[in-house]
Amino acid sequence: MLAFYDAHVRALPDPLPAGVTAEHDGPLVRRLGGHRGFVAAPADLRVGGADLDRLIARQRDRFAGLGQAVEWKTHGHDLPADLTDRLRAAGFEPEEEETVMIAPAEDVAAEPVPPEGVVLRRVEERADLERIARASAPEATLRRIDAIMRCRSRIDANVHPQIAMEAMTSALLLG
C-alpha cells in the first residue's frame, strides 16, 4: 500500500497545470510557477551528507532567484532519515504536520464523527472536486483532481469517499 501511495502522491501531474514547468535536478523534480513552487522527491533520495546539503541548497537558491515560495513535502518514511533536519538547517520552514492513514477499509471502517466545525460532504463527481478546489488553494487542489478521479474510479461502487472541508475555508473565500 505504501508503494501505491508513493507512486500516486509523488508523481508529476500529466499534463502540468497551465503556467507550470518542470526541471530535473538529480533525483528531484522542481515545479515552477503557479501559486508556489514545489519540489517532488522520491521516498529515498539515495544521497546524504554534504551531497544532500548541496542538493537542498540548489532548490532553495533556484526558487529564491525566481522570487517564488516553494514547498518540499516530506513523509515520515522518507530517506535519508535526517532529511527534514537538513531542510530546516537550509532555511526551509515546516508547515503544519499532515497525517495520512492507509489501511484496508474493513479494518478502519466506521461511521465518521467529524470534529466541531468540520463538514463532511459526499464526493461523487468531478464537479464536486472542482467546487472544493474553488473553495481552497486552486492550484494545489486542481492539479490533483485527475489523480483523485482515477483513484475514485477504482473504488468499489458501494464505497463513497468523503472529503472533509473545514468551515474556515468558506471564511477564507469570503475575505
pLDDT top residue among 45 and 95: 45
Q: 169: which residues sit within 8 A by CB, 6+ positions away? A: 135, 136
Q: Which three cell numbers stand for residue 40?
A: 517532488
pLDDT confidence tier of residue 172, bands split at 50, 70 and 90: very low
At residue 151 the predicted structure's pLDDT band, cuts being 50, 70 and 90, is low
pTM of the entire structure? 0.62
Q: In this predicted structure, what is the pLDDT of residue 32?
A: 94
Name the average pLDDT for the chain: 78
Q: What percent of the chain has pLDDT over 90?
A: 38
Check: CB of residue 26 under 8 Å from CB of residue 40: no
Q: Please report the pLDDT score of residue 149 as a whole number.
A: 61
Q: Tell me which residue has cell 483532481.
A: 145
For 117, phi then psi, to 5°, come to 90, -5
Q: Which of 136, 133, 165 minimizes the C-alpha distance to 149?
A: 133
Angle at 125 between CA 120 and CA 126, to 5 degrees: 105
Identify the CA nearest to 92 among candidates 51, 129, 61.
61
What confidence category does residue 46 fall into, taking pLDDT thresholds of 50, 70 and 90? very high
Please tell me the distance from the alpha carbon of residue 134 to that of residue 89, in angstroms, as a whole number: 35
Does the structure show a pLDDT above 90 at 140? no
Segment 162-167 shows an average pLDDT of 38
pLDDT at 43 over 90: yes
